Structure 1
Amino acid sequence: MALFDDDRSPLPESSGLDEPSHRRGPRPVRERIGWWAAIVATVIGIVFALFPTPYVIERPGPVYDTLGTAEHGDEEIPLIEIPDERTYPTEGELNLLTVSVVGRPGSTPTWFEVLGAWLDRQQSVVPVEAIFPPGLSNEDRDAQNSAAMVDSQQDAIAAALVELGYDFPREVTVSGVVEDGPADGVLQDDDVVLAVNGTEVFSIDELRSAVQDNGTDAPAELTVLRDGEEVSVEVTPTDNGGTAVLGIGVRMVYEFPIDVELQLDDVGGPSAGMMFALGIVDKLTPGAMTGGEIIAGTGTIDSSGIVGPIGGIRQKLWGAKDAGATVFLAPESNCDEVTGHVPDGLDVFAVTDLDQAREIVEAVGEDADTDAFATCPTS
């Protein structure tokens, strides 16, 4: 008598075949459930991956040479024009960097895109609210960034002209007083702050520093220009998250001695200030400051030339590398973000002010020794 496995059937004697058939019967219930579970999990994974995320992606954006031109409508125009002054030929490039953001509230990247960005050194994944604060519309944010760019361009012009020895009014002007704040009833809109405790201030950063030095335990003596007359007032700063503040808004008002025109469309924020200032200095001084080298950098700047921190510096490093730069000027206060993220072949110098940045560019242009200048650690 022949024996057969459970899932086999005996061959009819008349079949003429020597071997049994291998027709399979129904799979066990447990195996079928496992297959269905795998299929459902795959479908759920694909659907989930295509869903929006609470993140946006930062990646390197366009690079602009402040010594060159950019598209403006249907024509190419210089980023820096100084129509009524003698300017000098330049060489090389002084590149400002930008960051492109992928996604907006209501239209964020998918999980597939986020995973790809996590695995890419040139990109960063950040919470959407870090770029788009809640309660602020996209239009308001874009308007703020545009205003910040305009203000930074004015600061860049001022910093460059101060660096070159021009003398002109730089007024730290009150643009608002916080109700029930320490300066309420003491300072007024359009007051020009001339000095704090006898020390003159010519920039917003200098005002902030002087108020911080005063502290919150004693009143600060402010000399202000009001309706054409100097007035002395006292304001006791209050603490705001560890910072001494007067409870006022301020803006800079300049009266430039020469006409400097900066053109850059569709770019927001204040981070182009230092590179614009360097470009202005290069155009107004004999000799090519870069020596033909491609130099990139980023940083805010105030009228006294102080260079401040910016966002997205890791993406800007890669943007500089892709544009052919070998030297990168970074705000010293951003060095902690730079360490461990420097592309090969790029030297990153830490700068604190315009004068130092200019010295580095000139040293690179002259192929001089740059060992005396501070660098951001690569690792």
Structure 2
Amino acid sequence: MSEPAGIPANPPSAVREHPAIRFPDVRPRRLRRAGWGALVAAAAASLALAFVPSPYVVEVPGPTFDTLGATDAGPLIEIDGAQTYPTEGELRLLTVAWFGSRDRPLSWVDVAQAYVDPARSIIPMDAAFPPQLTIEESNEAGRIDMQNSQQAAVAAALLHEGYDIESDVRVAGVIPDSPADGVLEEGDRILRVNGETAYDVYSIRASIAAVDGPTELDIERDGEPMTVEVTPLVEGDQRLVGIYPSHEFTFPFDVDIELPNVGGSSAGMMFALGIIDELTPGAMTAGTHWAGTGTVTALGDVGPISGIVQKMHGAVDAGASHFLAPVENCGDVVGHVPDGLTVLAVDTLDDAIAAIDAVAMNEDISGLPTCG
């Protein structure tokens, strides 16, 4: 059979080796050169990347503190004017720390290393350090949040134990150029928000979040009642009016919480549990090492927090065997529980106490709520 027209029967001699002629094989050398070139380029790119700032910070487990114990400043919880009782075990609150800031941004290499560590999370810079706030304003907000958290925890614990308390909710500060600027003033007493009684900071935030559109506040300024209206700024799922609210309660005796250099509100539930344990006969934990996190309102509702994955790893590192997680954080918990930690989900302070009591009495806890 003849070959098709236009295609020679044999390839050109230029690409066929003659038995008596050997052509040097230059392909491996070219490949080697290309390979070395790629490696050099990759190394140069990696070196350059090491110095390129990223728009992220890395969240890591921070220090932990036993609310039944002490810090360098003394007992973490000290009660004066009421009968207290010995405790056992631990009720440990947890914190997170950040690597990186606007002044000292992390490189992309730092971010890549954090990506493979299950105890670390990568957070957008704007989420960690809101661009509308200075560092000083962020620190002040954290300080006020911690103060509010401690006050609400004392209120929740004493109300749980049957004591009467009174509350006074005020504007501790107004953020410049925010919706509240020029409408609310530092020192204003907040009576109602959108018709709901302002019992504490958390009830204010809940009332603002529950209504679309302008927020109506009944306030008292210099003894005079008035009603004002503020249109919140919407950022993600938050509605912000631009104030630092604070609350003060009148308690029947003194409860001091001493925890220097820690900000935020996520320790509220653990503060309340520590106070209740000291005020009631018998050790609540029966020697078990607990850790947990969550805000708490004066009425005992437990709310969600950030950084719960890092806090679970911090709990394990601190030797805790059981962990209390807010129900609303369960989506972040599932699939991220470290080995050796039993996580129980709670919605109220009563839920937390019931879980601790069940473990202390060696009861079957399989029926208790979890994040599974």
Q: TM-score, structure 2 length as denominator?
A: 0.79
Partner Cα separation in structure 2 for residue 86 and residue 198 of structure 1: 39
Matched residue, 1:268: 263
Q: Alignment partner for residue 258 of structure 1, among 253, 259, 265? A: 253
Judging changes above 3 Å, is the alpha-carbon distance between structure 1 residues 47 and 369 closer, same or farther for their aligned structure 2 residues? same
Matched, 1:329 2:324: yes
Matched residue, 1:142: 139
CA offset at residue 36 of structure 1? 5.4
Matched residue, 1:107: 104
Partner Cα separation in structure 2 for residue 180 and residue 299 of structure 1: 28
Matched, 1:169 2:170: no
Q: Alignment partner for residue 78 of structure 2, among 77, 81, 100? A: 81
Matched, 1:203 2:204: no
Matched, 1:314 2:315: no
Which amino acid letter does the alignment assign opposite residue 360 of structure 2?
Answer: G
Which amino acid letter does the alignment assign opposite residue 100 of structure 1?
Answer: A
Judging changes above 3 Å, is the alpha-carbon distance between structure 1 residues 116 and 90 closer, same or farther for their aligned structure 2 residues? same
Which amino acid letter does the alignment assign opposite residue 369 of structure 1?
Answer: D
Judging changes above 3 Å, is the alpha-carbon distance between structure 1 residues 67 and 48 closer, same or farther for their aligned structure 2 residues? same
Partner Cα separation in structure 1 for residue 68 and residue 128 of structure 2: 30
Unaligned runs of 5+ in 1: 8-25
CA offset at residue 249 of structure 1? 6.0
Partner Cα separation in structure 2 for residue 87 and residue 331 of structure 1: 28
CA offset at residue 61 of structure 1? 1.3
Judging changes above 3 Å, is the alpha-carbon distance between structure 1 residues 275 and 33 closer, same or farther for their aligned structure 2 residues? same
Does the aligned pair in 2 maintain the 1:289–1:365 contact within 8 Å? yes
Partner Cα separation in structure 2 for residue 177 and residue 46 of structure 1: 45
CA offset at residue 309 of structure 1? 1.1
Partner Cα separation in structure 1 for residue 141 and residue 239 of structure 2: 25
Matched, 1:282 2:285: no
Judging changes above 3 Å, is the alpha-carbon distance between structure 1 residues 189 and 131 closer, same or farther for their aligned structure 2 residues? closer
Partner Cα separation in structure 2 for residue 113 and residue 250 of structure 1: 37
**Per-residue Cα deviation, 1:347-372 (whole angstroms, up to 9, x for no partner):** 22221222221222222222223344
Matched residue, 1:43: 43
Partner Cα separation in structure 1 for residue 144 and residue 203 of structure 2: 21
**Percent identity at matched positions?**
44
**Per-residue Cα deviation, 1:197-248 (whole angstroms, up to 9, x for no partner):** 886542233345456667769x9795x666668x5x6667857648888887
Unaligned runs of 5+ in 2: 1-19
**Per-residue Cα deviation, 1:235-292 (whole angstroms, up to 9, x for no partner):** 6785764888888764212222211111112222111111011101111111100111
Does the aligned pair in 2 maintain the 1:48–1:111 contact within 8 Å? no
Partner Cα separation in structure 2 for residue 288 and residue 180 of structure 1: 47
Judging changes above 3 Å, is the alpha-carbon distance between structure 1 residues 53 and 308 closer, same or farther for their aligned structure 2 residues? same
Q: Alignment partner for residue 154 of structure 1, among 151, 165, 173? A: 151
Residue 325 of structure 2 aligns to a residue whose secondary structure is strand
Partner Cα separation in structure 1 for residue 348 and residue 158 of structure 2: 14
Does the aligned pair in 1 maintain the 2:313–2:338 contact within 8 Å? yes
**Per-residue Cα deviation, 1:94-130 (whole angstroms, up to 9, x for no partner):** 0111112111223233333322211111111122222
Does the aligned pair in 2 maintain the 1:297–1:328 contact within 8 Å? yes
Matched residue, 1:359: 354
Q: When the two structures are aligned, how many residues end up with a matched partner?
A: 349
Which amino acid letter does the alignment assign opposite residue 323 of structure 1?
Answer: A
Partner Cα separation in structure 2 for residue 247 and residue 235 of structure 1: 14
Does the aligned pair in 2 maintain the 1:63–1:319 contact within 8 Å? yes
Judging changes above 3 Å, is the alpha-carbon distance between structure 1 residues 28 and 212 closer, same or farther for their aligned structure 2 residues? closer
Partner Cα separation in structure 2 for residue 337 and residue 137 of structure 1: 29
CA offset at residue 176 of structure 1? 6.7
CA offset at residue 64 of structure 1? 0.9
Moved more, 207-216 or 315-324: 207-216
Matched residue, 1:61: 62
Matched residue, 2:295: 300
Moved more, 56-65 or 86-95: 56-65
Partner Cα separation in structure 1 for residue 240 and residue 258 of structure 2: 34
RMSD over equivalenced CA pairs, Å? 3.6
Partner Cα separation in structure 1 for residue 103 and residue 217 of structure 2: 49
Partner Cα separation in structure 1 for residue 178 and residue 22 of structure 2: 91
Partner Cα separation in structure 1 for residue 242 and residue 103 of structure 2: 35
Which amino acid letter does the alignment assign opposite residue 59 of structure 1?
Answer: V
Partner Cα separation in structure 1 for residue 56 and residue 172 of structure 2: 35
Does the aligned pair in 1 maintain the 2:144–2:244 contact within 8 Å? no
Moved more, 345-354 or 190-199: 190-199
Within-5 A mapping of 1:172-187: 172-174=169-171
Within-5 A mapping of 1:365-376: 365-376=360-371
